[in-house]
Amino acid sequence: MTKSVLGIIGGSGIYDLPGLENVREEHVASPWGEPSGALRIGEMAGLPVVFLPRHDKGHRLSPSDINYRANIDVLKRVGVTDLISLSACGSFREDLPPGAFVLVDQFVDRTHKRESSFFGKGLVAHVSMAHPVSPRLRIHLAAAGREEGIDVVRDGTYVCIEGPQFSTLAESLTYKQLGYSVIGMTNMPEAKLAREAEICYATVAMVTDFDCWHPDHDAVTVQDVIKVLVGNAEKAKRLVARLAKDFPREHEPCPIGSDRALDNALITAPEARDPDLVKKLDAVAGRILNS
């Protein structure tokens, strides 16, 4: 069986991962450009763990400026099998107040400026995104939350907007009426790219505010968000530490096949494939291209 390597992408407020042991910082090159920053590679409770700050240290990158393809590519290159995204978000539900953690199971993509696939002209592939989150990862995260006394909500839909501006009131009310749970700016196309790279993926959506639909919170400010970020970050680090302690040391096959998403996804005939694109896909799709 494949050994588990747990990847952690830290969102707003999470630029490091205390508790990593035997740490080395590694700048991994990617044919897709520059990732957000150096990888911190180490162990937690004996489990290999790789940490990447999505916005880089000091929050240098806006959501639209993140090179999502390079980020997923370098995580794949160092062997990550299971990936947890720690992401700040706004809430559309009274029962998800600031400080709440949501293990989302669905995404709606409203971004429009980002490269959302490793594939394209010269090598076309279509992966399933019907169920974008690995159910086993959600189960392990929920169990870790229980052990740490951290309340987590098991289901919810995350709508991803382009940003960097917060929503208008009309947009916020629309998303609420559509039944979405939380709103953020970073988990798409990240989840799509993780699926193409055959990495099991799950999100911990950490609520910082009520967006602007709430009559008592009619404007979101960075200052308000930062206050909650600090508390959320501390809980997230406890959650990750517990997750690593209890995480299976052998990679569990994903029941929805996210770790074999390319099995029947490539449609371009071998003789029609662009050799330059094939070369760039050595990490992401090497399993299937070399078989």
**Tens digit of each residue's pLDDT (9 = 90 or more) over 227-257:** 788 889 999 999 999 999 999 999 999 999 9
pLDDT classification of 220: cutoffs 50, 70, 90: low
What are 51's two structure tokens? 């940490």
In contact, 203 and 85? CB cutoff 8 Å: yes
Q: Percent of the chain, pLDDT > 90? A: 89
Per-residue model confidence as pLDDT tens digits over 95-137: 999 999 999 999 999 999 999 999 999 999 999 999 999 999 9
- Whole-number pLDDT of residue 262: 98
Secondary structure of 222-234 as H, E, C letters: HHHHHHHHHHHHH
Active-site residue (options: 73, 105, 109, 209): 209
The pLDDT, as a whole number, for residue 263 is 98
Q: Given the residues 73, 211, 246, 274, select the one marked as catalytic.
A: 211
218 — pLDDT class (breaks 50, 70, 90): low
* pLDDT tens digits, 34-64: 999 999 999 999 999 999 999 999 999 999 9
Q: Does the structural domain 6-289 have CATH classification 1.10.10.10?
A: no
Domain positions in the chain are 6-289
Per-residue pLDDT reduced to its tens digit, 160-174: 999 999 999 999 999
Flag whether 64 is marked binding: no
The predicted model scores a pTM of 0.96
> Measured between alpha carbons, how far is 217 from 87 in angstroms, rounded to an integer?
21
* 91 labelled binding-site residue: no
CA distances from 229 to 45, 89, 232, 288 (A): 26, 10, 5, 40
- For residues 228 and 83, what is the distance between their CA atoms, to the nearest angstrom? 24
- Return mean pLDDT, the chain: 95
Contact between residue 244 and residue 17 where contact means Cβ atoms under 8 Å apart: no
If you search the block for the tokens 């909500």, which residue do you land on? Answer: 153
Ligand-binding annotation for 87, yes or no, is yes
Distance CA 222, CA 162 (A): 17
Q: Of 2 and 217, which is predicted with more confidence?
A: 2
Active site residue 259: no
The predicted model gives 187-204 an average pLDDT of 98
263 is catalytic: no
Separation between Cα atoms, residue 165 and residue 182, nearest integer Å? 16
